Amino acid sequence: MDMPLSQIGRPELVFRDMGSEQLPGLQMLVYDSVDGGYKYIAKESNHHEYGDNWWSRDVFGDLPGKENTYRNFFGSLDDLYNYNPEMVVIAVGYSLGSGAKGDVIIESMTFGNAKYLFSSNRAFDIVISYKANMDEIDTQTLFGLEEGSILTTSNLELPVGYGLASPIFNHIVRGPSTLVVDVKAAMYNLTINYTYNSSVIGRQTIDDILYGRIISASELNMPEGYYCGDFSPIMVTEDAAISVPVFVYDEYDNDEALNIEPETPPLGIIEFTGPYLSGYPDGTIKPEGNLSRAETSQILMNLLGIKAYTAKAPVDLTDVDESSWAYNSVNFAVKENLMVGYPNGSFGVDKNTTRAEFVTILARIKNLESAEESNFHDINGHWAQKYIQPMEAMGILSGYGNGSFLPDRYITRAESTVIINKLLGRSQSFIVNNEYADLSEDFWAYPFIMNAASGIH
């Protein structure tokens, strides 16, 4: 550097403190022309009690009565100038105490007219493993995070139905790593406002509802003398408040119930051999794509052999109307209590269906329910355990090789056909040639998908 000490101005070190117990400091190596020696001078940021003072045993020496004590060798920049303003600065840098390593990010260092900028230019991938009671529920990968960046709860994509076991989450990125984040089943509260002629006449609160639990009409505690007209069960996925219109008994016309064609087979009995899965206009069938809730409702309508459906009182949902391709199937699924909407008034047509939700729908249609424990290590205690276990016992569900079922993972279109075909005992024959651009004959679920798309031969 070779700059006289008098020209360095006021040196400055800019850094980000990441919670270190010690902070970094500036340091200079100078040549003293007075005695022809090299001297070490440092300003340590964590010694706040010394203000702008610098430390140097070589320059300040021992003060009387404080010989050989660390706190003795401090002086100001003016003291340095007075000692010898023409000392030549040979090299400059910054120091990190043992407690500071990895806990600070140095951004810049300024000496006189020279400013040094620092950048690690390093980025890392972070894998987050979400675990509940030591069982891995799901994983998330964050790619290309800058060294020194801080992860908080806003970076987390929690598994569906789970919340953080601890409300505090912070992590400083120092390298590639796998983080374990403990989660727990989320609990929510539901407030039900009972309205009559648009006025609230009663209120009910249901507390500590496990994520995904379905609230049906049987749990409503309506004001005395009033009755609920047409209540569609709802699935609780968040804290919510809903309004439920009520009527004086003789004001409610039970004839406004569903209009199901008489020849419709009773739910719980499925004897269907036709196609129930459709491809897409681009010639694909997306076997590994997620199954949306709208697509799920259409599959249910197909399976039950209902080609057209009309309700005298269509459901009032914010995200589906008569212009939607899934309007009839959504109305059918909700009115028949096969699927439920959300407390915010939507059906979630574009939301994906989880494996637990899909199995629950089919189990309810087939009247399958059990209180037995599951062999899947991630099912016991789950809200859908009573529906998953009986289908597991029947050999319909095989889960994954590690003994998990992953109930809150989205179900793929291929997985849905395997479960349905096994449940219905359908053979894996099919009657058309494969014309799907993204489906090969060596795909693991090929016969199931082709059977679902074409029907049984």
Total domains in the fold of the chain: 4
**Distance in angstroms (rounded) separating the CA atoms of residues 419 and 401:** 17
Confidence of residue 205 (pLDDT cuts 50, 70, 90): very high
Q: Can you give the pLDDT at residue 257? A: 32
Query: Of the residues 141, 156, 184, which one is the last residue of a structural domain?
Result: 184
**Closest to 425 in 3D by CA, of 386, 449, 450, 396:** 396
Query: 221 with 177, same domain?
Result: no
Confidence of residue 187 (pLDDT cuts 50, 70, 90): confident
Is the pLDDT assigned to residue 261 strictly greater than 90? Answer: no
Is the pLDDT assigned to residue 454 strictly greater than 60? Answer: yes
**Distance in angstroms (rounded) separating the CA atoms of residues 12 and 45:** 11
Looking at the DSSP bridge assignments, the partners of residue 393 are none
Q: Can you give the pLDDT at residue 180? A: 94
Query: Of the residues 69, 86, 117, which one is the last residue of a structural domain?
Result: 117
Kindly state whether residue 240 falls inside one of the protein's structural domains: yes
Query: 203 with 226, same domain?
Result: yes
Q: Which domain holds residue 87?
A: 3-117
- Token pair for residue 308? 């057209």
Kindly state whether residue 200 falls inside one of the protein's structural domains: yes
Q: Can you give the pLDDT at residue 266? A: 43
Kindly state whether residue 277 falls inside one of the protein's structural domains: no
**Distance in angstroms (rounded) separating the CA atoms of residues 315 and 246:** 16
**Distance in angstroms (rounded) separating the CA atoms of residues 176 and 141:** 11
Ranked by mean pLDDT, which of 58-62, 86-90, 447-451 comes out on top? 447-451
**Distance in angstroms (rounded) separating the CA atoms of residues 146 and 121:** 7
**Distance in angstroms (rounded) separating the CA atoms of residues 84 and 38:** 13
- Token pair for residue 128? 């987050």
Is the pLDDT assigned to residue 263 strictly greater than 50? Answer: no
Query: 205 with 302, same domain?
Result: no
Residue with tokens 């023409």: 86
Kindly state whether residue 273 falls inside one of the protein's structural domains: no
Confidence of residue 302 (pLDDT cuts 50, 70, 90): confident
Average pLDDT over residues 271-296: 89
What is the average pLDDT value for the chain, to the nearest integer?
79
Average pLDDT over residues 327-339: 86
Kindly state whether residue 390 falls inside one of the protein's structural domains: no
Kindly state whether residue 271 falls inside one of the protein's structural domains: no
Is the pLDDT assigned to residue 66 strictly greater than 60? Answer: no
Amino acid making up residue 184: K
Helix (H) or strand (E) holding 419: helix 413-424
Length of the chain equals: 457
Q: Can you give the pLDDT at residue 48? A: 46
Kindly state whether residue 235 falls inside one of the protein's structural domains: yes
Confidence of residue 167 (pLDDT cuts 50, 70, 90): confident
User: Higher pLDDT residue, 321 or 80?
Assistant: 321
**Closest to 15 in 3D by CA, of 116, 85, 88:** 116
> Which pairing describes strands 187-196 and 74-75: parallel, antiparallel, or unpaired?
unpaired
116-162, pLDDT tens digit by residue?
A: 776 656 788 999 999 988 889 899 999 888 877 889 888 898 888 88
Ranked by mean pLDDT, which of 261-265, 272-276, 324-328, 423-427 comes out on top? 324-328
Q: What is residue 126's DSSP assignment?
A: E
16-57, pLDDT tens digit by residue?
A: 765 666 677 788 888 888 777 888 887 765 544 555 677 777
Query: 87 with 133, same domain?
Result: no
Query: 233 with 318, same domain?
Result: no
Confidence of residue 388 (pLDDT cuts 50, 70, 90): very high
Query: 192 with 177, same domain?
Result: no
Q: Can you give the pLDDT at residue 18? A: 58
Ranked by mean pLDDT, which of 57-61, 312-316, 356-360 comes out on top? 356-360
**Spatial contact of 72 and 50, defined as CB atoms under 8 Å apart:** no
Q: Can you give the pLDDT at residue 190? A: 92
Query: 61 with 209, same domain?
Result: no
Average pLDDT over residues 54-64: 70
Query: 85 with 10, same domain?
Result: yes
Measuring CA to CA, how many Å separate 105 from each of 100, 101, 123?
10, 9, 14
Find the DSSP H helices in 304-412: 327-335, 355-365, 385-393
- Token pair for residue 162? 């789970």
Q: Can you give the pLDDT at residue 62? A: 62
**Spatial contact of 422 and 447, defined as CB atoms under 8 Å apart:** no
**Closest to 368 in 3D by CA, of 380, 386, 395, 355:** 386
Looking at the DSSP bridge assignments, the partners of residue 4 are 88
Query: 304 with 223, same domain?
Result: no
Ranked by mean pLDDT, which of 54-63, 68-77, 189-198, 410-419 comes out on top? 410-419
- Token pair for residue 32? 């003293």
> Which pairing describes strands 150-151 and 171-172: parallel, antiparallel, or unpaired?
antiparallel
Query: 20 with 127, same domain?
Result: no
Average pLDDT over residues 71-95: 76
Q: What is residue 399's DSSP assignment?
A: -
Query: 105 with 135, same domain?
Result: no
**Closest to 120 in 3D by CA, of 15, 10, 21:** 15
**Spatial contact of 270 and 304, defined as CB atoms under 8 Å apart:** yes
Kindly state whether residue 23 falls inside one of the protein's structural domains: yes
Q: Can you give the pLDDT at residue 252? A: 37
Query: 149 with 86, same domain?
Result: no
Is the pLDDT assigned to residue 276 strictly greater than 50? Answer: yes
**Assessment of whether the complete model's pTM goes beyond 0.85:** no
Confidence of residue 457 (pLDDT cuts 50, 70, 90): low
**Distance in angstroms (rounded) separating the CA atoms of residues 145 and 117:** 20
**Spatial contact of 307 and 224, defined as CB atoms under 8 Å apart:** no
Q: Can you give the pLDDT at residue 184? A: 85
Is the pLDDT assigned to residue 258 strictly greater than 50? Answer: no
**Distance in angstroms (rounded) separating the CA atoms of residues 457 and 444:** 20
Ranked by mean pLDDT, which of 158-167, 247-256, 415-424 comes out on top? 415-424
